[in-house]
Every structure is written in C-alpha cells, then in structure tokens.
Structure 1
Amino acid sequence: MSERWKTAPVRLGVGWADIAVLVLGLLVLTCGLGGYGFYEPHEGHFAGVAREMLLRNDWVTPTLNGAPYLNKPPLLYWLIATSTKLFGFNEFAARLPVALAGWLGAVVAWKWARELWNPTAGRMAAAMLCMAAGWFLFTHQILIDVLLASLLLASYYCLWRFLWEPRRWRYCLALYGLLGLCILTKGPVGLFFPVLSWVGLALNRRSFASFQKARLVLGAGVILAVILPWVVAVERANPGFLKYFLLNENLSRIADVRWPPDYAVSKVSALGYLAVAGIWGIPWTLLLPQALSSAWQDWQQGRSPEATWSQRRRSEGMLLLTIAAAAPLLLFLPMSSRLVYYSLPALPPVILLCAGWWSRCREPGQRQGQRSLGWVFALLGLVVGTGAFWLPRLVVNLPELANIAGLHFTAAFLLLALGASWLVAGVLLLARWPYRALVGLCLGLSLVWATVANGFATTEAVRSSRQLIAAADPRLGLETLWVFEGSRELGAAGAMSYYLDRRGGHPLAEVPGATRTAPLPPGWARGRAETAYRTVMVLTDGGVNRLPPVFPGPAPAYATNRRQLQEFWDSTRPVVFVTDFLRQPNDPQDPLDLNLPISAKEPLQVVGPRQLYGNAAAQEHWEQSCASRGQATAECSGRI
C-alpha cells in the first residue's frame, strides 16, 4: 500500500468560537425570512407547488394553481412542503429550507477549511460564506441554486476525502448519495460539475486509477436508488414528463430556445455574467488575487517530490476547489441562456480559498497582500460611504421605486454602514490586525444584511401580490372568481392562489355550488379528502409576453381566454381581474387596458404595479363591505 494512504488526518476539536460563528451565521441567514411577501414569479412558483403537495396529498406530481407543473425536480418542493407542514402556510416556513441549506453549506465550508489549513480557517470560511452578498440574498429568495451549491460543495468534500481515504465507505456512499440529491435538485447538470472535478483530479495525478477504486457500480446503484423511485412514479402519473423535462428544461434551455423563455431581466451578457459573479462574492472577491496566489503556492508545494502527505492532500484540495469555482463560470459563459444566479455554485469554493489566505495572511510571505487589501478596503469604504449622500436620490427616482416610502433613508443607511465597515477593516489590516479586521467586517455586514432584510419588506408591493389580496379578498368573499392577465411564468398566479387560501383548503360544503361528484366551479381545485382550494384563472391569449407553459397532459383547468373572460364578467358571479405587474410600462404594443373586459370601470384597488378591476357583482360586494365598516367606497378603494 502506498504511503499516501497510511496517514490519517488529525482530529480537530470543536470549541466555543466555532459554535459562536456557526450560530451567528444561522441567525444572519434566517434574519427576516417571514417579513415580506413572496417575490413573484419565482417564489410563488416554489411555495405554491409545495403548498399544493400538502393540499392534494400528492408528493409525486408537482402541481401549481391546480394543474401539473413539471419543469423542476422535486427536492426543493419536498423540503418546503415539509417545512410548511411543521410551521404552517407562511413565508418563513417556505423560505426556511433554502436558508438552512445555505447554513449547511457554511458548515461544510467550516469543516473542510479547518482540515485543509487550521481551525481558524474553518471559522473564517463559515463566517465569510454567510456574509457574502450572494449567499445572503439568495438564502432570502426561494430559488434552487443555494441548495444546489451546498450539495455540490458537500459532494466535492466527500470526493476529496474518499480519494485520500478510499477505505472509508461513508465518504463513498455519501458522495454518490449527494450526487443523486443534486440530480433531484437541478437535473442532470447536478452530476456534471462533480464528474468534471473528478476528471481534473485524475489528470493532475496522471492516472485514472481513482475511477477503478471508486466502486462505480455501487455508486450507480446508490444514485439510481435516490432518483429512480420518483422518476418512475412521475412518468407513470404524467406520461411524457421525461421527454419534456430533458428536452425543454435542459437541452432547449442550453440552446436558449426553452418555452416559455426566461425574462430578459434575468439574463446577462458574458461580461455581465462575470461581473455579477463578482458581486455575489462581495466583499470577499476583493481578496481574490491574494487567495489565488496562495492556492497556487499550496498546489505547487504539494507537487514537490519532498512534499508531505498533508501537503499533497492540501494540493489536491486547492485544485478541486479551483475547478469547482471555475466550472460554473466557464460552462455558462458562452451560452446566451445564462442567468444571473447560475454562477452561485462557484461562490463556496471561492470563499474557501479566500478563508485559507486570510487565516495565514500574517505569515511573512503574505504581508504585502495584506497591506494591499487594507488599502483597497479603506479606499472603497470612503467611496461607498460618500455615496450615501448622492446615490439614494438616483435610486428613488426610478419609476418602479418612486412611491416606496422610506427607501431613501434605507439606501443611505446601507451605504454608510457598508462604507464604515470597509473603512475600519482597511485600517485594521494596515495596522496588521487581520483577525480583528475580519471580526469587525462581519459584524458590520450583519447590520447591513439585517437592514437589507427589512428593505425587502419596503419594496414588497412591487413584486408581491400579498398586500393586494390582503386588502381585497376580505371585501369580496369565497364566491368571487379571480382572473389574472397572465405573465411569462405561472408563479405569479401560484402566489395569488397561495394568498387567497392560506388556511389550507376548505371543506366542500363551504365551496359555493360544489358537490362531491360534479366538477367544481371555475376558480377551485380539489384537494384531499373532500376538500378544495382556491385557484386563479389565467388568460392564455393575453399577448406574446404572457403565453403560459405547455406541459404534457390535458389543458389546465385554470386556462381561460378573453372571450371566456368576458362571459365571466357579464355573469352574476363576482369576478375580479388583476393586471400583469411585469408588463413594460412604456410598451405601445402592450397598453394597460389591452386585456381589460368590456365595461371595466375604475380599478377597485391599486397596489404597486397591480390593478384590480371588478365586474358589477364584485363592485356591489365591495360597496357593501365598505358600508358595513362605515367607510365610503372611495375611502376603501384606490392606491396602497
């Protein structure tokens, strides 16, 4: 047996400092999760599907707004549904799994960094990842990418441990189990990055013997055991799912011909993609030159014939982290379908490299880098701090933000706090107190992110339907039919359905006109055990920007058209119509009244960019509700 396999890593104890850092990271990542409505369409999509899994007691077929929604694997849906089962139908429960996934990613970073360098590096890695701009922002939004990034980081760690300790079966089984979970999170792309990293390590060793020792048959069995039960079940329940998912959601997305296309606001140019990747790592991307230089030295040191076992092990860790950081950037860079958050899996490996340098920056060979970083932080702190006196005025003049109260003060406070923390960190680095600089920087960033979480609530009316439905639904009642003008993604309608029925469904006896055997009236879907829940009708011919997705199977019950909308509008049933909040305000081909029913009058309610119109029956309900509260109709209508 080679000498390489004979030495075991030293066991490292866990101290109070480690626990304090991890607890602080958890507090930061969960701060304010339930304080603002779902940002639509993306958060409404994930929370809505998870909610309907509970309402229908169907954990196989993802369903949104009462119909199958087959564009994502189920792992995040399952996690949100489990959290909702425990904590109720609310925003905190829906966002908690993503925040916990981000925190577990920080735990993996803590463990890996302390094994690569020292316990101090572990604490720094956990703190730096939790404080990174992208990690904080995307743990406060329901998207897949933080979960995927954490699973990928854990799979890289298990791969590294398995290659250096091949007799430890737990790392082998964990690696393959994590790969299966990556597939259940994002699809086949979840397998690509770890395999690419493994190949890179084999090329570095100039030997593919690691694949021969990798128990690939066992690994394939573990991966299939993780993914196959759901894949078989969902294909049986929804024939054509696999073809649709592999072609439309994977190959067509790569070629940028996926339907419906992604919003232009989420797409970026190649240079913009690299810039956004740097923004997600702020402020730690500022020390990327020092981190890469340090990683290069570690890698070179491990390739020396005189290198110790520990140095060789660290060297391969540096290579693995570098590949893991570069792969998401290089893979999506040439694709026109790249979205702003596709680079997020590169962030944890980058943070690990940065933590490795910072934990050793007091060593003689790193002092010049420490001094340079001190000047960068100090100068940028001055620039950002002075920006508090002029930048907020530009922000509040943006049309979509002009009516948000308190935004000017929030923006100014953020810039002052961020600038001050950077300036103090720069001064401490120049004084050769790097550990104190990092502590001060993390405490300052904690204050900044707490303010940002509060700012999400400030801008809620722009991207969430929560305020609109909270104001309007009590005045309209269960018999009211809600119709949405539509948008390119169904998540906005899913969020409206969520807010119309937060109690978890209704007995059939409460549904106007419902029986056990007859089809439910429009605007309702059947749940479990003789229950039903409210849905939102969605226009399918509302314009080229609002054509809904087309999944395998029959047409969804929520689909309607302008002719049917007019029939609803002219009926005696109360009907309300909500305009698309994502329309371009100055587009002459898409005026605000493009899809309004004939005889629609002034809106009953206006919240941000959404306008709510009612037919004659809905207006009567509205007026009666206002009168019962002692309010004139004009007082309880209008803009919020």
Structure 2
Amino acid sequence: MTTKTYAASESTPRQRGGIPEPIANLPAPSRSVGIAILFALWAAVFFASLFAPPLLDDADATHSNAARHILSSGDWVTLYVNGIRYLEKAPLPYWIDAVSFKLFGFTAFAAHLPQSIAVFLLALLGYLWASKAYNPRTGLYTGVAVLTSAGVFLFTRVFIPEIWLSLFLATALYAFLQSLEQGKSHAYLMWTSLALAVLTKGLIAPVFIFGTGVVYLALTGEYRQWRRLKPFTGFLLFLATAAPWHILAGLRNPDGFLNGHPHGFFWFYFVNEHFLRFLGKRYPVDYNKLPGYLFWSLHLVWLFPWALFTPLLFAGVRRRVSTILAPTYAARTALLLALYSALVLLFFSFSTNQEYYTFPAYLPLLMLIAAALTRAESTYSEEKSSRRWITFAHAALTVIGVAAAIALFIGLWRSRHLPFVPDIGELLAHRGVGDYTLSMSHLFDLTDSSFAALRLPAALAAIAFAFGPAIAWFLRTKRRHLAATSAIALTSATFLVAAHIALIRFGPMLSSETMAAKITDLRSTRAISPDTKLMLYGDQSYGSSIAFYLGEQLPLVEGVSSSMIFGSSFPDAPKIFLTNANLLATWGTGPRKLLFVPLERRDNLDLVLPVSRQIVLAETSGKALITDRPLDNR
C-alpha cells in the first residue's frame, strides 16, 4: 500500500503554544488509494451481501411492497401496502427502490442495492470531510469505521430509511459549514440536502439541522455571516423540493367529509406520526421505548469496535477547552459534530425509540473518534494519557475477542457431532416471538441445538476474534499505528462477513420466500386451480415477503393491526380483512383455500380451525401453508 509520508515519525507531536497537537499530515494512503481501499472494503462487506438472504418478513418486505406498488400502480404520491394506504412514511426511499426494481427486477438485490450504495456514499463523505478538517489518516479512519461498525452493518440488513437520512443530514451539515466559508453553492447544497432529508424521514430533519445550526452560530459568533447561508432563496429552494409531495399527498388523501374519514394525510402524517409519536401517544401505540441505561450503553455495541476509543475524546479535554472555539476548520468541525450528535442522542432519549433511531449520529461520532485516535497516535510517545487510553481500548478489545472466541469454540465443540439442519428455525427456542417489538429481540431465540447450522460463520468469527485484536495490540506496541488500526478494521470486517453468513442461515425463519416459491410451483404444475384463494393469517407483516414475491394483494384473516389500522379505515379500502367467522364459513366450500399461517399464530388458528380440517402443504421454521382439501390429481 503506497503512502504519502510527511513526517519522520508517527509519534512526533507538533507544538503550538506549548501544547502538543496532532501532526497535520501523518503517513496515509493517497486520496485515490484511500478511496480504492474504502471501495474494496465496501464491496467485500456490503455489496457481496446483497444476493442473500431473500427479503425478510416485517419491515424489509413491507417497505419493498410499498416500492413495488409504485411501479404496478403508477402512483408516486400515495404509498400503499397490500392495497391499503401507507401514509406514515415519507416517500423518497420508496421512490429510489422503485427505480431499482425497474432496473434490476423484483429481487432482494434490487431492494437493498440503494441502501448499500448509500453506505458507501456516507463512508466517502466521512473520508473527504475528515481529510479536509483534520488529515488524510483521520479521513481514512472515518471511512473505514463507517464500513466496519456493527450498527451501520446491522441496521442496513433491512429496508429502513435511516441510512439515507444519515447521508442527507451529514451532507447538509458539511454544506452548512462550507457555506459559512464559501457561500452560495454550498448553501444551496445544504438546503437541497435538507429537503431530501425531509422527503426521507419527515420534520425531524429540520429539527436536527436548525437546532444544531442555531446553537453553533450563537457559540461561535458566526451568525454575522448569516447571509452566506442564503436563508431566503435557499428556503425557497427547500420548499420547491420538499413541498410538492406533501401538498399532493394532502390533496389526494384529504381530511373530513371529502373522503368520509375523520382524518386524512395532514393529521396522520404531521400530528400523529411526528408529535404524538414523540410523546408516545401515537395511534396505534405499537412502539417501545428502550430503558435509559440500554439506550445509552447500546451505542457501545452499535459503534463497536471503534467505541472502545471513546475515552480518547475526553483525554486532555481541559487542555482543549480553550481552543474548542478557535477559528480553525478542525475546531469548527469538531464543535458542529459534537452539537449535532448530542442533539440527536438527547432527542431520542426522550422520544419513543427503536435501536436504530440514532443512526444519523453514527458518522459524526465516528469522525470525532477517528480524529481523537489520530491525535493520540501522533502523541503516543509523549503523552501518557494517549498511551493509557489506547492501551485500554486494545486491552478491552482483546478481552472481548478472547471471550467471544472461547464462547464460539465451545459452541463448535458441543455441536461437533450434531447434524447440519438447513432450517435453523426448527431448532430455536420460540419464546413469545409474537410479542417482540424491538428489532434485536430474536437473538434470544438462539439455543445450543441450533449451533450446528452456524459452524462456518462461527468458525470464521472465532478465528477473527482469537487473533485479530492480539495482532492489532502487538502492532500498536511497535508504534505501527496505521497497521494496528487496520488490523482492528479487518477483524471487524471479517466478523461482519461471518454475521451475514449467519443471517443467511436464519433466512428460512426470517423470510417466507420459500412459501411463495411453493405457491408458484403449485400453480405452475396445476396442483391447484387458478381460482384458488390465497390468504394470510394475522398481520400482513408476518408474511409480507409472500405478497412481495407473488406481487399480489392478499386477504388477511384477523389482520387489522399495527400499520394496517389507519389505512383500512378509509371507505375506499379494499375488502381484504376477514374474520375467523369468515374463514370458518368458507373453509372447505367454493374455490380452494390456501392459508399461510406464521409461527406466531399457529396456536390461535388451531383454536379456531381444528387440525383435522387442515391439510399442510409446506412447513418451515414453524410457519405453515395449509389448504382445505387434497391437491388436484393433475
């Protein structure tokens, strides 16, 4: 790897007023090589993971269904899921996915490609911004940290808008800072990015940007440069970009007597989905709030392994208080990122939340950590605090790695004689999965008996954790800082690849694509007649991947829940909602019935429909496809 060397030693501090500061140009790859490194890492971790598993049930396939409906209906204003209005979401991520489906077909690859590209763009933005504000090595560390952090990887496995929101908000922040220096062009970039963020996630975007900007301008005194932000023409550009969709959505989904419904888009989207959601009074109430200690401590997991270097942010903080408002680009960047991160974290600590809601703070936090790490590397030989906290981070990572490796090796040893079972869902301990409302809850299902299906990813992760942290620590003691940090990144990247292999093994449990394939096969072989009626038991989210892969609107038995409630109450909503009484009245009569039953509803169905009247055609991970009569002889 070629590098540009600007100093004789990585550990020689530059003096400014007697205070050691990081070397401005530490040895680092050139810009072209740095971007190539980021691209290669992205391709290995993110692009390679686009092809499997299939779309997962719940949010992943539900949101993909909304994007698919755009193409099938030609309606780019009102989102629909299974024929029902889906008014709680801003449209831009669905527009982007609709274009991807148009280009690449209705596949998991097409559904997740836009998010994967957004991850690379976020890493690239972090690389360029940090390189400009600090030095090329900090830029490289920032980009690499984005691509190897556990939270960034985990929360882009499904189709949710947080990665796009993070990209647009980070771009708006960068353009805000640049516009104070250079004016016009960056100011308009800021307003455009903010508008795109609004079209991605709603009014939370201006709350974060304006809140951060006002405090920043007040603290730095740069409010005198307010004209450079182009507040009047920029705001007009913002409205021209963000307002048309909101106006059209309101006109097509009006309040009151115009549609026979007491509430329409404006109330539901702005009042219900913004203000009432923040207060925990949203209708329907289907969101949890993480306990405070978990909300804050889990960020050590989401930013792992780089969160272990967080103490470096506070090392020598007294010394840097006097320079935090210094008129340097690095100081202004640090202040802006700190204010923005604090606002995002504090906002969601009060609001109802899911684990991934604070995703927009990941890049700013990682950039600050990367800057602190680079600073500590440059003063490693001279400052005890730098050595102490870097040593602490490596010790913690090594202990975590050894513990993880031991646990994985124990699991491999205990499962050495157990057969490989492709359907890992049959081996899990299903404990009240229907009550899970947090995205990580399914981790509690894993049992020893299921470990045999995870031998390959477990072995890969065990090897990475057993050797990677120790090698990184050894390199650090030799003052080979760039190599040491690179070893940490490679360890994390290897673990993420292993994690994705494990996710593929969980595919049969988390996705119902195999059921869609079974239905397609039954139709193609004429084992069922064309007039067969396919239904889902329970909320559409339980089998949303079936609707996506078949491209059909499916009746739901006892399925008016969660995201379906508001849209189903419109007078023109399709009559897709059936009751248990409807099912019993038609079961075994008229056209054949096919019923998909998720694991979460098997017991409920058995109480309503005797097992003797169920003919199981397929079963995987506790999910079943049943019919009301034997298959046709044809």
> TM-score, normalized by length of structure 1?
0.81
Q: Is the 8 A contact 2:162 2:359 kept in 1?
A: yes
Q: 1:90, 1:340 → 2: CA distance?
A: 27
Q: 196-205 or 553-562: which moved more?
A: 553-562
Q: Distance in 2 between matches of 1:181 and 1:295?
A: 36
Q: Does the Cα contact within 8 Å between 2:584 and 2:609 map onto a contact in 1?
A: no
Corresponding letter in the other structure for 1:388: L
User: Can you list the C-alpha shifts for 1:369-428, whole angstroms capped at 9, x where unaligned?
Assistant: 333333333333222222223467799764444575512553353243234222221222
Say if 2:298 is the partner of 1:282: no
Q: Specify which of 550, 559, 565 is matched with residue 566 of structure 2.
A: 550
Change (3 A) 1:108 1:538: same
Q: How does 1:380-399 map to 2 (within 5 A)?
A: 380-390=400-410, 398-399=429-430
Are 1:63 and 2:49 matched, yes or no? no
Which of 294, 315, 321 is the matching residue for 2:331? 315
Residues 125-524 of structure 1 aligned to structure 2 (within 5 Å): 125-166=142-183, 169-206=184-221, 208-211=223-226, 213-239=228-254, 240-262=264-286, 267-293=289-315, 300-303=322-325, 309=327, 312-335=328-351, 337-360=352-375, 361-363=377-379, 364-365=382-383, 366-390=386-410, 398-399=429-430, 400-401=445-446, 404=450, 406-476=453-523, 477=528, 478-487=530-539, 490-501=540-551
1:482 counterpart SS class: strand
Match of 2:260 in 1: none
Letter in 1 for 2:177: W
Contact 1:83 1:96 (8 Å CA) reproduced? yes
Confirm or deny: 8 A CA contact 2:86 2:563 kept in the other structure.
no
**CA shift at 1:597, angstroms?**
7.3
Contact 1:373 1:429 in 2 (8 A): no
Q: Percent identity?
A: 24
Give matches, 1:72-83, under 5 Å.
72-83=89-100
Displacement of 1:57 in angstroms is 1.7
- 1:287-309 Cα offsets, whole Å, 9 max, x none, are 01113437775563253xxx5x5
- Does the aligned pair in 2 maintain the 1:21–1:126 contact within 8 Å? no
Contact residue 338 and residue 365 of structure 2 kept, 8 A:
yes
Alignment of 1:620 with 2:631, yes or no, is: yes
Contact kept, 8 Å, 1:161 with 1:171, in 2: the verdict is yes
RMSD: 2.8
The 1:577–1:192 alpha-carbon spacing in structure 2 relative to 1, beyond 3 Å, is: same
Q: Cα distance, 1:192 vs. partner?
A: 0.9
Structure 1 residue 214: Cα displacement? 2.6
In 2, Cα distance between equivalents of 1:286 and 1:483: 49
Displacement of 1:204 in angstroms is 1.2
Q: Could you tell me the TM-score, scaled by structure 2's length?
A: 0.82
CA distance in 2 between partners of 1:459 and 1:297 (Å): 50
Question: Is the 1:66–1:557 contact (alpha carbons within 8 Å) kept by the matching residues of 2?
Answer: no
| SS of alignment partner, residue 535 of structure 2 | strand
In structure 2, what is the equivalent of residue 600 of structure 1? 613
After TM superposition, the structure 1 stretch with the greater mean CA deviation from structure 2, 396-405 or 413-422, is 396-405
Cα distance in structure 2, aligned partners of 1:424 and 1:375: 12
Q: Residue by residue, what CA displacement relative to the aligned partner does 1:595-637 show, whole Å, maximum 9, x if unpaired?
A: 5479632422211131222112xx324xx36xxxxxxxxxxxx
Tell me what 1:611 maps to: 624
In 1, the alpha carbon distance for the partners of 2:354 and 2:204 equals 15
Contact 2:31 2:136 in 1 (8 A): no
- Kept in 2, the 8 Å contact 1:540–1:546? The answer is no
CA contact under 8 A between 1:377 and 1:425: conserved in structure 2?
no
Cα 1:582–1:421 shift into 2, 3 Å: farther
Would you say the 8 A contact 1:292–1:353 is kept in 2?
Answer: no
The aligned residue for residue 52 of structure 2 is 35
The answer on whether the counterparts of 1:374 and 1:430 sit within 8 Å (CA) in structure 2 is no
Structure 1, gaps ≥5 residues long: 1-8, 502-533, 626-640
Contact 1:45 1:495 in 2 (8 A): yes
**Matching residue's letter, 2:300:** G
One-letter amino acid matched to 1:369: W
Q: 1:427-469 CA distances to partner (integer Å, 9 max, x unpaired)?
A: 2223322210122222222222222222111001212111222
Count of aligned pairs = 560
- Kindly provide the amino acid, as one letter, of the partner of residue 341 in structure 2: A
**What residue is the counterpart of 2:578 in the other structure?**
560
Aligned runs of 1:80-119 on 2, under 5 Å?
A: 80-119=97-136
SS at match of 1:548: helix
- Report the Cα offset of residue 213 of structure 1: 4.5
Instruction: Return the letter of the residue paired with 2:387.
Output: R
Offset of residue 176 of structure 1: 0.4
- How far apart, CA to CA, are the structure 2 residues paired with 1:259 and 1:613? 33
One-letter amino acid matched to 1:262: D
Query: What SS does the aligned partner of 2:626 have?
Result: strand
Looking at structure 1, the residues matched to 607 and 103 of structure 2 have their Cα atoms a distance apart, in angstroms, of: 43
Cα displacement (A) at 1:563: 2.7
Cα separation, partners in 2 of 1:454 and 1:374, compared to 1, 3 Å: closer
User: In 2 relative to 1, CA 13–442 (structure 1 residues): closer, same or farther, beyond 3 Å?
Assistant: closer
- What runs of 5+ residues in structure 2 fail to find an aligned partner? 1-23, 255-263, 416-423, 431-444
Aligned partner of residue 427 in structure 1, secondary structure? helix
The aligned amino acid for 2:307 is T
| Alpha-carbon distance in structure 1 between the residues aligned to 2:316 and 2:97 | 40
* Deviation of the 1:257 alpha carbon: 2.6
Q: Within 1, Cα distance between the matches of 2:515 and 2:93?
A: 27
Task: Tell me if the contact between 1:277 and 1:344 (Cα under 8 Å) persists in the aligned partners.
Answer: no
3-state secondary structure, aligned to 2:594 = strand
Q: Distance in 2 between matches of 1:410 and 1:13?
A: 31
Amino acid at match of 1:406: A
Quote the offset at 1:105 in angstroms: 0.7
Instruction: Give the letter aligned to residue 23 of structure 1.
Output: F
**1:16 counterpart residue number:** 32
- AA of the residue aligned to 2:275: L
Cα displacement (A) at 1:320? 0.9
Q: Verify the 8 A CA contact 1:485 1:595 in the aligned structure 2.
A: no
The one-letter amino acid paired with 1:433 is R
Structure 1 residues 607, 296: CA separation in 2 closer, same or farther (over 3 Å shift)? farther
Shift of 1:68: 2.1
What are the superposed Cα offsets for residues 8-41 of structure 1, whole Å, 9 maximum, x if unpaired? x99x996332232221233122221121122221
Residue by residue over 1:324-354, the C-alpha shift from the partner in whole angstroms, topping out at 9 and shown as x without a partner, is 222222111133x211111211111111012
Structure 1 residues 471, 159: closer, same or farther in 2, change over 3 A? same
